[in-house]
Amino acid sequence: MQVNEYKPLIVAFCCNWCSYAGADLAGNNRLAYPADVKIIRVPCSCRVNPMFILRAFQRGADGVIICGCHPGDCHYTSGNYYTRRRMAALFSMLDFLGIERERTRVEWVSAAEGAKFAATMNDFAQKVAALGENKRLEDLRCKK
Amino acid sequence: MQRVGVFVCWCGSNIAGTVDVQAVSEALKNEPGVVFSTNYQYMCSQAGQDMIKNAVKEHRLTGIVVCSCSPRMHEATFRKTAAAAGINPYMVEIANIREQCSWVHKDMLTGTEKAIILGKAAVAKVNLNTPLIPGESPVTKRALVIGGGIAGIQTALDIADAGFPVDIVEKQPTIGGKMAQLDKTFPTLDCAACILTPKMVDVAQNENIRIFSYSEVTEVKGFVGNFDVTIKKKARFVNEDICTGCGACVEKCPMKKVPNEFNLGMDNRHAIYIPFAQAVPKVATIDPNACNMLKNGKCGLCARVCAAGAIDYKQKDQFIEEKYGAIVVATGFNPISMEKFDEYAYSQSKDVITSLEFERLTNAAGPSAGKLIRPSDGKHPHTIVFVQCVGSRCESCAEKGKEYCSKICCMYTAKHAMLTRDKYPDTEVYVFYIDVRTPGKNFDEFYRRAVEEYGVKYVKGMVGKIVPEGDKLKVQASDLIANRQLHIDADLVVLAAAIEPDKSARPLATMLTASMDTNDFFTEAHPKLRPVESPTAGVFLSGACQGPKDIPETVSQAGAAAAKVIGLLAKDKLMGNPCVAQSDELMCNGCSTCANVCPYGAISYEDKEFRMPDRTTKIRRVAAVNPAVCQGCGACTVACPSGAMDLKGFANSQIMAEVDAICK
Amino acid sequence: MENNQYLREEIIRMSGVNPTKCMKCGKCSGTCPAYDEMEYHPHQFVSMVDNGEIEPLLNSTSIYKCLSCFACIERCPRGVEPAKVVEAVRLIAIRRQGANRMTANDIPAMVDEDTPQQLLVSAFRKYTK
Amino acid sequence: MQKITREQLIEKASELLANGTVSCVLGWGAGEFGYDVTPTVFKTAEEMKTGFVFSDFCGANFSKYLVAKTQKTEGKILVFLKPCDTYSFNQLLTEHRFDREKVYAVGIPCEGMADISKIKAICGEGISSITAEGDTFIVTTLYDDEPIAIEASAVLAERCVNCKSKKHVAYDELMGEDGDVLDSGRFDEVARLEAMTPDERFAFWQNELSRCIRCNACRDACPACTCEKCVFDNPKSGVENKSPANSFEEKLFHIIRAFHVAGRCTDCGECSRVCPQNIPLHLLNRKFIKDINEFYGDYQAGAEVGSRAPLVNYTTADLEPGEVFNREG
């Protein structure tokens, strides 16, 4: 029996208009998800620079998830379409470097989808926890 | 370094029930920059706000972190509090420890731990906040409406009624647009001219409205509230101010074999012409491609018969520059070309016509004076086949048709079929359809009337092929319900051609930096919640330029666009959102990547001179963001490889600081 | 294509149904319990009658497969009453000389112990004149 | 061996200098060793005769130097462009990085360039001269008495083995014949890595990237890296690190660099050519190119001026990031 259960650290970038409101709704409805998830508010999912994601990993995050409005519903018309392309390319690249693909995710959560937000976070946290601590992104260069 | 004050709210037991607020305020005391930290039962209450104001004074705070409910709830409240206390409202950050912490976590330990981390992130961010001041810009109280169809007319009338001057730019010699060409209108069957022409007269007589007919917009500069627009008034070789529209010139003009575009080429007009009797302005126009006088200097008859002396063969294109606060796009639509639909023999037979041509054929002012005849031989048609969805919902043949539903065809086809059966009960009328779409008030009832009362034969299935044979059109079609092929000898075939945005829309969108979809329809700022605004601030959408729509819908949208324009023009000054992008000129490469992703066209480029360390100067292209247009999405900041572009209020360094604080 | 306007009008008169009211949604056929037994289905009856194509219906056994359960009438969103159309076509067939589906001589062969008498009576009424 | 000779290029340059078409020439100048070249500006035909080099070692893509040189030079600059250089040239024009009017571009054919590290792998260090004779290089070294003969085809640079195009997409004048876009196997190595398990891939990159010394040569040679100031040199960016402070940063650097050039990288291969540690950096770029081609349709940066790069574009029907992996099955 493990006494000290491993707790992953998860950074969630949420767009102000849909997903952040969706997270608020999850709160309003008291839908629990792990406290490991820490939310950073951004105006739009397209504000998320790949550097923020890598920085989070660098500083010890075990998983990073980006949430935005559903495609077609972006408050800024097209922001999430750019997010979709950028993150598809970036995540594919991280996979190419041998980093576990389950550590990154993009999910569209509308302001009405409090339940989806909580469910997504539960699922993501569970998957990241199963992977264990993020070592690869932290120390790729580690001397042989 | 900031002097940060931290205020942890209990929200009664909403937060305090799961988060040890005392521990949070204690823990945050030790964060860099924090000089004061406290907690209180209800921070948003008057007492709570006073506590903040006093602390600002007492501890000379420059930044405030409130650990409370969602910023979507009370960010505005606490910003006002900060302003009242004399510090910049954008020096406030909220840590959301209610919706995203106390309400979703059950035990005190985890709740408190997380609240502290969220608080630390907010402190880290506020340390990097800078005071932001929303930009102000004046508003020119004049609107421009581009397009003088029913959409433009209604928008202009509504804006003018509110007391603001409006200019209509129409590329044709008269306003009226497509509606002026129609015969009757569904579902009430009132005649289009009877309801449109009074509005056209209203426009002409309204003191607040100027009409630039036979004109085009050639350049748009500026931004919301402050557009500088150049309008080209094409030479019409007639002095508009003195022409009385008597028509004597038209009668005498010897050049009478010019295809009449108003009747879609089904009859001829003169080289000098007034498009139709109720044209506004009722002024003659000389077609320079047809007029002998303009082509080779021989004739001059119209000048001789004009009692007013309005003919001016030397007239030149005129360029007018005007300032506007708002621009409404109402460029409308056209039926697509049928040339490529060989299967319907449109190019082979004169008796295969489009629905718009059918409108002219049944219009009392049309080429046949309203008598339904076959264009080829003038005979009365007995069997008429209507084909719906010609070029609509046509995904595989992009060069021919359009993938979208043109929306209006089902209804006007029902109207045509019904009117035909009404006036000529001896005709047999077939309508071939894929679906009959009638979502509108009294629309389905209208279509059912065509079937039930007027005996129009609706057949589910498409016409596959039409072959002219003798004086008949052999129509081969499918009846999907009976599951068989039909062969009909028709006298006349009417194609419900898909509609597409006017060709002038694309270059106009470029000028306006307004975005368009792949079909060249203008995109809305939000498809549901801001349907009459373009994402480009100050540009509004009216009518079919935004998507296929019928007259009632166009008029409602026109009114809605006018309301938005009035709302804008009623303001003396526009306050911007200060959280906008900003480019650091020293680092900008001028590569245009940011402008590519900007949904608002807020980014422009200029060549700037820079002094180099070696005292030489260097001219470089750099980006400049117009803060009045930028909405602050941040798409450009990620597109920018050099990091020159940053977003105020959500700067790279601020978000990175939050990441660091969370991950530490 | 056959277009028997006389029979069309006759069926419309007999049934009191206006087939042009049909909007071809197919709900009648969707609800019909005898659908699998029929060559022509309720919606086709309505549409074929409207087109004056009566002969194929008269020659089809579909007119006898209709149970007259009236589910189609119950469900039709336009009040077209397809079963009445079927009934009218059936009557046209029965009224033709010697076109009765059943005669009294056919009855004994159909009787078994479980068959309620009422069924025989109603079938006899329905398939003869 | 190159079909076009140094003398032909000097002759062309002299002609253009003499008739005033150009005021100077941006070309390959002799480097420290016989096999390395350095970007050099020649003002006269005489300067060219002494210092200009054109050989099988002139792989360097000088299009990015136009950004700085056009700013400093009066009149037009003559630049010789191999087919792959023309793509970078166009990409820089797309990004408004220099004034097209200030450049006179002469397209020259390329038969593929030699990779000095492959030669060194055969003859070791201490190369004192390399001469080309037909399809053979004659290499003399300090340590061998006899010159060593090497088949040119055996030491062709990887990027030339997998040459994507012999077609010039930009020029004012063309010397020799134009070629075609080729069907290269340039994505084969990426595909090979993709077929590995994540652990194998991780091990592969750990091995490669752990050699990185953050000399920034890849960035300095890359024709897409023409930023006035790189984010990694900018204290305000929050990721400033001129030299690595912790073990993660090489990776951050290389991922971000590849991401910043994604959709803009023409796959010229300069990054790998100049890497003193022989890290196959071009594979990162090719991964992005391969993905972009597969996700959003074929796109070749620089093929035309003014095209919109895939990552600054979108369609409403794009695949979801989560589908990227499902796609592979």
- The verdict on B487 and B356 lying in the same domain is yes
Interface test with B, best of D230, D312, D313 (most B CBs within 10 A): D312
- Is the preceding omega at residue B187 within 30 degrees of 0, hence cis? yes
| Residue A69 sits at the chain B interface (C-beta within 8 Å) | no
Could D318 and A89 be called an inter-chain contact, meaning their C-beta atoms sit closer than 8 Å? Answer: no
Does residue A69 sit within a domain?
yes
Give the residue from A78, B485, B53, B630 showing the smallest Cα distance to D315: A78
- From CA B101, how far away is CA A27, in angstroms rounded? 8
Q: Is the pLDDT of residue B480 over 90?
A: no
- Phi, psi angles (nearest 5°) of residue B632: 80, 35
Residue B47's alpha-carbon distances to B40, B118, B355, in angstroms, are 9, 24, 70
Does residue A35 sit within a domain?
yes
Does residue A100 sit within a domain?
yes
pLDDT of residue B518: 81
pLDDT of residue C125: 77
CA distance D269 to chain A (A): 18
Residue A76: list chain B partners with CB under 8 A: 535, 599, 631, 633, 635
- From CA D256, how far away is CA D233, in angstroms rounded? 13
Residue C45: list chain B partners with CB under 8 A: none
DSSP state string for B599-647: TT--EEEEEEEEE-TTS-EEEEEEEEE-TTT-----HHHHH-TTS-EEE
Interface test with A, best of B97, B533, B663 (most A CBs within 10 A): B663
Please report, for the domain that includes residue B451, its CATH number. Answer: 3.50.50.60
- From CA B503, how far away is CA B507, in angstroms rounded? 8
Residue A141: list chain D partners with CB under 8 A: 206, 209-210, 212, 244, 247-251
- The verdict on B74 and B24 lying in the same domain is yes
Q: Which residues contact B337 (CB under 8 A, 6 or more apart)?
A: none
For residue A76, the Cα-to-chain-centroid distance in whole angstroms is: 21
CA distance B116 to chain A (A): 11
- From CA D261, how far away is CA B377, in angstroms rounded? 66
Residue D329: which pLDDT band, with cuts at 50, 70 and 90? very low
Instruction: Express each pLDDT in B397-447 by its tens digit.
Output: 667 889 899 999 999 999 999 999 999 999 999 999 999 999 999 999 999
Instruction: Express each pLDDT in B603-639 by its tens digit.
Output: 999 999 988 888 888 889 999 999 988 999 999 999 9
- Is the preceding omega at residue D280 within 30 degrees of 0, hence cis? no
Torsion sign across C-alpha atoms A134, A140, A141, A142: positive
Range of the domain at B476: 334-500
pLDDT of residue D206: 85
Residue D202: list chain A partners with CB under 8 A: 97-99, 136, 140
Q: Which residues contact B390 (CB under 8 A, 6 or more apart)?
A: B338, B341, B344, B401, B495, B496, B497, B498
**D232: nearest CA partner in chain A:** A51
- From CA A119, how far away is CA A108, in angstroms rounded? 12
Residue D97: list chain B partners with CB under 8 A: 589-591
Residue B518: list chain D partners with CB under 8 A: 315
- The verdict on B367 and B438 lying in the same domain is yes
Task: Please report the domains of chain C, with CATH numbers, ordered by start residue.
Answer: 5-96 (1.10.1060.10), 103-129 (no CATH)
- The verdict on B283 and B223 lying in the same domain is no
CA distance B564 to chain A (A): 18
What mean pLDDT value characterizes chain B?
A: 94
List the structure tokens of A102: 């389950």
What mean pLDDT value characterizes chain D?
A: 90
Angle at D18 between CA D15 and CA D19, to 5 degrees: 85
Q: Which of B588, B621, B642 sits opposite D231 (nearest CB)?
A: B642
Using CB atoms, which chains have 3+ pairs under 8 A with C? B
- From CA D238, how far away is CA D206, in angstroms rounded? 25
Question: For chain A, what is the domain count?
Answer: 1
For residue B318, the SS3 value is: strand
Strands B226-233 and B215-223: antiparallel
Does residue A27 sit within a domain?
yes
Beta bridge partners of B67: B8, B95
Torsion sign across C-alpha atoms B32, B33, B39, B42: negative
pLDDT of residue B397: 66
In terms of Cβ atoms closer than 10 Å to its own Cβ (0-12, 13-18, 19+), residue B421 is buried
- The verdict on B194 and B226 lying in the same domain is yes
Could D228 and B588 be called an inter-chain contact, meaning their C-beta atoms sit closer than 8 Å? Answer: yes
Q: Which amino acid does the sequence have at C119? A: L
DSSP code, position D231: G
Instruction: Express each pLDDT in B340-376 by its tens digit.
Output: 888 899 999 999 999 999 999 999 999 999 999 999 9
pLDDT of residue D247: 57
Residue D33: which pLDDT band, with cuts at 50, 70 and 90? confident
- The verdict on B491 and B393 lying in the same domain is yes
Could B656 and D239 be called an inter-chain contact, meaning their C-beta atoms sit closer than 8 Å? Answer: yes
Instruction: Express each pLDDT in B202-224 by its tens digit.
Output: 999 999 999 999 999 999 988 89
For residue C17, the SS3 value is: coil
Range of lowest pLDDT (D45-49, D78-82, D252-256) = D252-256
pLDDT of residue A24: 94
Mean pLDDT on B533-538? 88
Give the residue from B199, B489, B145 showing the smallest Cα distance to B324: B145
- Phi, psi angles (nearest 5°) of residue B232: -95, 120
- The verdict on B144 and B111 lying in the same domain is no
pLDDT of residue D245: 60
Does residue A141 sit within a domain?
no
Does residue B663 sit within a domain?
no
List the structure tokens of C108: 């004994």
- The verdict on B211 and B169 lying in the same domain is yes
pLDDT of residue B59: 96
User: What is the ipTM score, two decimals?
Assistant: 0.78
CA distance B110 to chain A (A): 7
- Give helix then strand counts, H and E, for chain D: 13, 8
Instruction: Express each pLDDT in D246-299 by its tens digit.
Output: 555 667 889 999 999 999 999 999 999 999 999 999 999 999 999 999 999 999
3-state secondary structure B90-144: HHEEEEECHHHHHCCCCCHHHHHHHHHHHHHHHHHHHHCCCCCCCCEEECCCCEE
Does residue B554 sit within a domain?
yes
Torsion sign across C-alpha atoms C87, C91, C93, C98: positive
pLDDT of residue A140: 46
Please report, for the domain that includes residue B248, its CATH number. Answer: 3.30.70.20
**B590: nearest CA partner in chain D:** D96
Mean pLDDT on B588-605? 92
Beta bridge partners of B217: B231
- Phi, psi angles (nearest 5°) of residue C62: -55, -30
- From CA B279, how far away is CA B214, in angstroms rounded? 12
Does residue B576 sit within a domain?
no
Q: Which of B452, B460, B481 sits opposite C20 (nearest CB)?
A: B452
Does residue B658 sit within a domain?
no
* Residues in chain A with pLDDT values less than 70: 1-4, 138-144
Interface of A with B in 41-60 (CB under 8 A): 41-44, 46-52, 55-56, 59-60
Please report, for the domain that includes residue B638, its CATH number. Answer: 3.30.70.3270
In terms of Cβ atoms closer than 10 Å to its own Cβ (0-12, 13-18, 19+), residue B277 is exposed
Does residue A144 sit within a domain?
no
Please report, for the domain that includes residue A31, its CATH number. Answer: 3.40.50.960
DSSP code, position B664: -
- Is B622 within 8 Å of B606 (Cβ atoms)? yes
Does residue B290 sit within a domain?
yes
- The verdict on B544 and B481 lying in the same domain is no
Count of C-beta atoms within a 10 Å radius of residue B364? 11
Angle at A23 between CA A21 and CA A26, to 5 degrees: 115
3-state secondary structure B459-511: EECCEEEEEEECCEEEEEEEECCCCEEEEEEECEEEEEECEEECCCHHHHHHH
- Is C83 within 8 Å of C62 (Cβ atoms)? no
Instruction: Express each pLDDT in D152-177 by its tens digit.
Output: 889 999 999 999 999 999 999 999 88
CA distance A104 to chain D (A): 9
Chains C and D touch (3+ CB pairs under 8 A): no
- The verdict on B269 and B352 lying in the same domain is no
Residue A31: list chain B partners with CB under 8 A: 104
Mean pLDDT on D85-100? 95
- The verdict on B153 and B101 lying in the same domain is no
Q: Which amino acid does the sequence have at B12? A: G
List the structure tokens of B172: 């044709």
H or E element, residue C7: helix C5-15
DSSP code, position A135: -
pLDDT of residue D327: 62
pLDDT of residue B478: 87
Count of C-beta atoms within a 10 Å radius of residue D6? 17
| Residue A93 sits at the chain D interface (C-beta within 8 Å) | yes
- From CA B129, how far away is CA B66, in angstroms rounded? 14
CA distance A94 to chain B (A): 18
Q: Which of C20, C23, C47 sits opposite B455 (nearest CB)?
A: C20
In terms of Cβ atoms closer than 10 Å to its own Cβ (0-12, 13-18, 19+), residue A109 is buried
For residue A75, the Cα-to-chain-centroid distance in whole angstroms is: 20
- The verdict on B364 and B255 lying in the same domain is no
- Is B482 within 8 Å of C47 (Cβ atoms)? yes
Interface test with D, best of A44, A52, A92 (most D CBs within 10 A): A92
Mean pLDDT on B437-465? 93
Does residue A71 sit within a domain?
yes
Q: Residues, chain C, total?
A: 129
Question: For chain B, what is the domain count?
Answer: 5
Does residue A4 sit within a domain?
no
Does residue B656 sit within a domain?
no
List the structure tokens of B507: 């270059």
Q: Which residues contact C26 (CB under 8 A, 6 or more apart)?
A: C43
Q: Which of D94, D237, D311 sits opposite B652 (nearest CB)?
A: D237
CB pairs under 8 A between B and C: 21
Mean pLDDT on D119-131? 87
Residue D302's alpha-carbon distances to A31, A137, B634, D165, in angstroms, are 50, 33, 26, 12
Angle subtended by helix axes B150-161 and B551-569, to nearest 10: 40
pLDDT of residue B613: 84
Mean pLDDT on B294-317? 94
Instruction: Report H helices in chain D.
Output: 6-18, 45-51, 65-72, 83-94, 116-123, 158-161, 188-194, 198-209, 217-221, 249-261, 270-274, 282-296, 323-326
Mean pLDDT, 10 residues at a time, chain C of 129 residues: 87 93 88 91 93 93 90 89 94 82 78 80 75
Range of the domain at A88: 10-131
Percent above pLDDT 90 for chain B: 86
List the structure tokens of C117: 């008498």
